Chains A and B, each alone.
Chain A
Amino acid sequence: MRPPDEDARLAAVRRYQILDTPPDGAFDRIAALAARIFEAPMATVAIVDADRVWFKATHGLTGMDQVGRDPGLCASAILRGEPYVVTDTVTDARALANPLVQGHPGVRFYAAAPITTSDGQRLGTVNVLDTRPRRPTDAQLDALQDLAALVMDELELRLSAIRTVTAERDRRAEAERLARTLQRTLLPPALPTVPGLQAAAAYHTASAQEVGGDFYDLFPLNDGRWAFFLGDVCGKGADAAALTSLTRYTLRAAAIYDPDPCAALANLDTVLKGEYQGGSPRYCTAVFGALEPLADGSFDITLAGGGHPSALALRADGSVQPISTTGGQLIGMLPEPRFVQTTTRLLPGDGLLLYTDGLTEARTPDGAMLGEEGLMRHLATVGALTADDLLGSVEALLSRLGDGVSDDTALLALSVPSPSENRNQENR
């Protein structure tokens, strides 16, 4: 009953990835054409699976998408390389037992041509059915074989399209994986230890497929001060990673010549314009800061912003305050961008949070953007924290927002230990 090499035949059926796919106009038209050529009420394009006959297309057989692999009709038709005809099921013992003959629709006539792969595997048939006995002409059977060959051509085309798409997807996944790796190498593996200061940073990934270009760094200047920056380049993937790399090294180099934060951003603006002039202009947004340790343990901070969300200070009393650089413009694309500089002092117990807009542009469950206001409300509920705890609290917020976060987010938190924490540290 089963074809001699049924395993190889089933492997071929699987290879074409056709089973249980949605209806497709091309196959529907072939079934309709088969019925018309035979002037028969019903026709199907059928694929014979291990234990069922699945209809890729039916004409005149409504509400039926598969039947058991009972002998007599399709299951028998695929045993032979040429058309299979039952002129009257009443006179054919095997066909007579078939449920399509015994029950609805009461088939009396059946003719099928096998759908055959180039290596000779018969996947199924194009077949016509009638409720009265009949004798097909040679011309009709020839046409049925042509239609089966047409189905095979269509299956080959589909398979080749599937393979192209799969290869493209694999290639893209590999490119994104490389971009992700490259992007990781652009972040400092660990932040340096700044005496009298706690620092913590994190990179939150929103999507495995789309690599963002967020960046941050913290490093010493030559004069006993420290510098830090955090920003975001436009675009995604490998191009963004290249721009991130250029931006990061430009800012570090700029700080050596002139640690003035506004000058560092202006220098970056010049470099980006030189690099990306013409073709595809690129920009980034960033906050750049200089940290000066004071004798009493506090730090003076000078911050410059270029089109970037303002840093937020968490004061020891639990209040939250934007260190506003609003008005600063994005870097690298505007004719004469304006950068805004401001200063603040971090006293013992105070903290500072820098973030990229993946955080504030995240959607809350009611569909609104979190915004600076939403972030400040969150921080106000947690109170004064060390840099590690501050970072942990914002990461917890990000994971609560879940799918609402559609872009990568970089976070950099700084804090000056309060006197009690200093004592605790000394006791350790």
Chain B
Amino acid sequence: MTAPERLLTVTPRHTASGPFVIEVAGELDHHTARVLTSAVEEAPFDRDGVVLDLSGLTYCDSTGITVLITAYHRAQAAGTPLSLAGVRPDQMRVFSVVGLDQVFTFHPSVDAAVSSLQR
């Protein structure tokens, strides 16, 4: 009964340069979303910033989008810079349809996101 969770892997890590990176790979949907929800809850939303690495994200349904917006709310409330890195074109189209392209800061890669946060 835990099998669906295996479709999503969430790997949080501190970077030497400061920002907290959460790597999200696989399918983010209503079966798997709580794995990312917990990772976001446990992440330090401090002034070093948080980067969600979505380069390995192959699918994101509406529940997944809810988790991303929750992370956005948390970042807004804490004054923490939050960015999404490596979003694939298919996924970017989905984000654009719901208008999230106007909400998040996007970077092509984690490196780009991290160096932008350091500036």
Contacts and interface: CB of A to CB of B under 8 A. Distances in A.
Interface residues of A, number: 32
Contacts of A159: none
Contacts of A361: 94
B65 to A, nearest CB: 7
A133 interface: no
A283 B30 contact: no
A234 interface: yes
Q: Chain A at the B interface: mostly helix, strand, loop or mixed?
A: loop
Nearest to B37: A280
Contacts of B100: 329-330
B102 interface: yes
Q: How large is the interface on B (under 10, 10 to 19, 20 to 34, 35 or more residues)?
A: 20 to 34
A306 B76 CA distance: 22
B115 interface: no
B32 to A, nearest CB: 13
A274 B50 CA distance: 28
A282 B66 contact: yes
A404 interface: no
B66 A329 contact: no
Interface stretch (A111-119, A184-192, A331-339, A375-383): A331-339
Contact of A326 (B65, B69, B96): B96
A328 interface: yes
A345 interface: no
A309 B76 CA distance: 27
A361 B102 CA distance: 21
Given A235-B63, A236-B30, A309 B93 contact: no
B115 to A, nearest CB: 28
B90 interface: yes
Given A283-B62, A330-B99, A407-B61, 16 more contacts: A232-B62, A234-B65, A236-B30, A236-B63, A281-B70, A281-B73, A283-B69, A307-B99, A308-B97, A326-B96, A328-B99, A329-B100, A329-B103, A330-B100, A335-B76, A361-B94
Interface of A: 165, 168, 232-236, 280-283, 285, 306-309, 326-330, 333-335, 337-338, 357, 361, 368-369, 371, 407
29 contacts: A233-B62, A234-B62, A234-B65, A235-B62, A235-B63, A236-B30, A281-B66, A281-B70, A283-B65, A283-B69, A285-B98, A306-B99, A307-B97, A307-B98, A326-B96, A326-B97, A329-B99, A329-B100, A330-B99, A330-B100, A333-B66, A333-B69, A334-B69, A334-B99, A335-B76, A337-B99, A338-B102, A357-B94, A369-B93
